Amino acid sequence: MAKRFRLSTRGFGGEPGIPDLTVLAAWITDHKGRTADIVTYRLDRSLAPQIEAGIMAPCAGGRFYEERILSAICGVDDRIATGELHAETHDIIEDAAGIVVQKRGAWCAIPAPHALGIRDNYYDDEAEWNDAINGVYRTILREMRDIGVDGHVMICDRIDDAELIALAHPKVFFFEPAPDRERLALLLERQPQVAVPKNQLRTLMSLTDEYTIRKLFIIDPDPQAIALARTHLDPDQIVAGGYNTGDGETYWKDIVAAAECER
């Protein structure tokens, strides 16, 4: 019988659906005494299935968390910056506490600043705008880490070099769910760890002569993708990753199962 080994597993968040009012009302009743709304429900449902499946490094959150971030940024009205930006983080701190109660050491996935789609109508200067919005994010990330959230996945629509520089931190990981070769190259210039869907793995491997990859997270891996990655990297550099954009009940269990490989 062939010897087997297990890859590490990591979550990159997800996008749980919005429940019907009966389910949501029952959940809110069970969480009286703290902020309990559709965002906290989705945080809970993004994280709990990962814990149940045994994901080694689970991550709450997803793009849906933009609602909470937008409401925390003062100086923004209807996605337009109309004044000096600063953050009011009370609800975000409560969210962080809820994540830590579920799983100490969990990360949280949030949309990157550019993904919020805010239009600057106040600073009228690109450098000042970048300083302002990234400064707000640094406050949010720091305060969540202070509560016990271990780190953050920054979900990107594109690779923004100003954000990569301003938000660089050992506990911040930039993740673009559907990158092309050019954007992967831009990311690897700043971050030697990268997460890619299995169908983009050959594109990433074509960059290994130009860039150092210290850790590879394969989103939704299969045996073929893992075998390809092993032609370039050692097994301890490869991680089975997940970003659950559907409501499949077995999604995270399937990630754990896929992480078991033949040597």
Report the CATH number at residue 240.
3.20.20.210
Tell me the whole-structure pTM to 2 decimals.
0.94
pLDDT value of position 98: 94
Residue 100: pLDDT above 60?
A: yes
Band of residue 5 on the pLDDT scale cut at 50, 70, 90: confident
Structure token digits, residue 19: 């429940």
DSSP label at 170? T
Of 220, 224, 223, which is closest to residue 197 (Cα–Cα)?
Answer: 220
| Mean pLDDT score across all residues of the chain | 93
Give the pLDDT of residue 246: 83
pLDDT tens readout for residues 158-169: 999 999 999 999
Q: In the structure, what pLDDT confidence band is assigned to residue 1 with cuts at 50, 70 and 90?
A: very low
Q: Is the pLDDT of residue 2 over 60?
A: no
* Mean pLDDT lowest among 4-8, 71-75, 140-144, 170-174: 4-8
Average pLDDT over residues 251-261: 94
Cα–Cα distance between 195 and 179 in angstroms, integer?
10
Beta strands in the chain (DSSP E): 4-6, 8-14, 59-61, 73-77, 80-87, 107-111, 119-120, 152-155, 172-175, 193-197, 215-219, 238-244, 260-262
Percent of the chain clearing pLDDT 90 (strictly above): 87
Residue 185 is part of which domain span?
Answer: 4-262
Number of independent structural domains in the chain: 1
Of 15-19, 27-31, 161-165, least confident by mean pLDDT is 27-31
What is the pLDDT at residue 33? 59
Q: Residues 202-229: pLDDT tens digits?
A: 999 999 999 999 999 999 999 999 999 9
Determine the Cα–Cα distance for residues 208 and 210; give it in Å rounded to an integer.
5
